[in-house]
Amino acid sequence: MTGKVPKGYKQTEVGVIPAEWEVVAIGNHIDFISGYPFKSDEFSQDSSKTKLLRGINITEGNLRWNPEIDRYWSHVTPELTRYLLDESDLVIGMDGSKVGRNYAQVKSTDLPLLLVQRVARIRCLPSLFVEFLRHFVGSEFFTEYVDSVKTSSGIPHISAKQINEYTIPLPPLPEQKRIAEILSGVDATIESTRKVIDQTKKVKQGLLQELLTKGIGHTKFKDTEIGRIPAEWEVVRLGDMIDISSGFSPSNAALSSNGTIPFFKVNQLNDSSKYLVNSPFWHSDSGLFTLPAGAIIFPKRGASIFTNKIRILGIPGSFDTNLMATVPHESLNNEYLYYWLDSYGLSRIADTSSIPQINNKHISPLKFPLPPLPEQKKIAEILSSVDATIESTRKVIDQTKKVKQGLMQDLLTGKVRVKV
């Protein structure tokens, strides 16, 4: 709302809000603590002990648990009981590149759980409904605030004082609950849609295993050095079926949005599900090597190898030195190769003695099953249809998130009132 303040509203330091709402620092309405400084060399991986909640376990809106990162504490002494979390507690990561964005609400299935240092725990007092505050913490209002006060040197972090000083417009409790109910309903839609994606991914994994080892409609099989495959399939060496290319590093001055040839960097693989079709970086040096559309690119060094980010170029383009590419020969369908590499997993062949890396000597010797070209294409079509389902469902989530952002802008500021 801009200009003249409408009837029933008032101007405040956080903007125009309903007259009966207050502007409060959340520290006056919460019980706040940050975690205990457990000694990392005493962490346990024994899952029968009490689980620790560390910053690494908090993502954008959820807690993540994985045997590779989960850690436990052997004995909960009386001194540590105040760090035991309860269901519905809000937790916020206080440092890292996503400070202000990594938050979650504790569920009963997460418990028992001990809070580790550099993680904040917020437990609401009766005047503040925890679900209402959760939506504020998950909004652009909070991330913009954190971005304005976090440290800018070293590892970004936010202090307990800064969290407690965060101000919000606060409706009466019944209205808080109704606003939270509406926004939580949107969250439930997003979560149920995400479960559809997870289930579809499981179907895809089963299809990968079935199609890449048994093919389509075969009754005769043979034993080979890589396992049992259809009788008419071959076992081939990957290096004999592809051309391998490495990237280059043009100067930043050579890259712009006005060039004629797209240039792809390794971090762009995070933003594409299968095809790379656009880039903010372009160059015009026709003398530099350009890959054809259909080439397969993937990380050649660093931790991103372990996330198996394999992509297909949807348009001709160039790429940086942190990536490598394969261009299949005519007898090898590029999408079939894409799915085989995705199923095989790059981390299995990486050199991890220092910085993880992959080069020609890792890729070329790989043996893989090769069906006749028509069957390769059919297998790729089946798997592509599953990917298309996943992608269309993901777009539903993205659109629903945009709807929620609009609702939060309206409801959390009182621009649109709700009936209680």
Here the CATH number for the domain that contains residue 121 is 3.90.220.20
The average pLDDT across 45-49 equals 95
The average pLDDT across 340-369 equals 86
Looking at the structure, tell me whether residues 147 and 245 fall in a common domain. Answer: no
Distance from C-alpha of 167 to C-alpha of 13, rounded to nearest angstrom: 9
Range with the lowest mean pLDDT among 22-31, 109-118, 208-217, 273-282? 273-282
Looking at the structure, tell me whether residues 124 and 240 fall in a common domain. Answer: no
Residue 178 located in a structural domain:
no
Looking at the structure, tell me whether residues 73 and 154 fall in a common domain. Answer: yes
Looking at the structure, tell me whether residues 243 and 133 fall in a common domain. Answer: no
CB atoms under 10 Å from CB of 124, counted, come to 20
User: pLDDT at position 39, please?
Assistant: 95
Residue 179 located in a structural domain:
no
Residue 39 located in a structural domain:
yes
User: pLDDT at position 142, please?
Assistant: 97
Looking at the structure, tell me whether residues 285 and 361 fall in a common domain. Answer: yes
Looking at the structure, tell me whether residues 260 and 160 fall in a common domain. Answer: no
Looking at the structure, tell me whether residues 162 and 261 fall in a common domain. Answer: no
The answer on pLDDT for 233 being more than 80 is: yes
pLDDT confidence bin for 304, thresholds 50/70/90: low
Which token pair is 309?
């980010």
pLDDT confidence bin for 254, thresholds 50/70/90: confident
Distance from C-alpha of 50 to C-alpha of 113, rounded to nearest angstrom: 6
How many domains does the chain contain in total?
A: 2
The domain boundary residue, chosen from 133, 168, 203: 168
pLDDT confidence bin for 249, thresholds 50/70/90: confident
If you average pLDDT over every residue of the chain, what do you get?
92
The answer on pLDDT for 140 being more than 60 is: yes
Looking at the structure, tell me whether residues 54 and 158 fall in a common domain. Answer: yes
70: containing domain: 25-168
pLDDT confidence bin for 399, thresholds 50/70/90: very high
User: pLDDT at position 24, please?
Assistant: 97
pLDDT confidence bin for 257, thresholds 50/70/90: confident
Residue 379 located in a structural domain:
no
Looking up tokens 């606060």, which residue turns up? 170
Looking at the structure, tell me whether residues 116 and 240 fall in a common domain. Answer: no
Looking at the structure, tell me whether residues 119 and 251 fall in a common domain. Answer: no
User: pLDDT at position 19, please?
Assistant: 96
The domain boundary residue, chosen from 153, 168, 183: 168
Residue 377 located in a structural domain:
no
User: pLDDT at position 3, please?
Assistant: 67
pLDDT confidence bin for 60, thresholds 50/70/90: very high
Residue 16 located in a structural domain:
no
The average pLDDT across 145-161 equals 92
Give residue 70's identity as a one-letter amino acid code.
Answer: D
Residue 126 located in a structural domain:
yes
User: pLDDT at position 416, please?
Assistant: 94
Residue 40 located in a structural domain:
yes
The average pLDDT across 130-148 equals 96
The domain boundary residue, chosen from 327, 342, 370: 370
Looking at the structure, tell me whether residues 239 and 164 fall in a common domain. Answer: no
Beta bridge partners of 121: 33, 91
The answer on pLDDT for 2 being more than 60 is: no
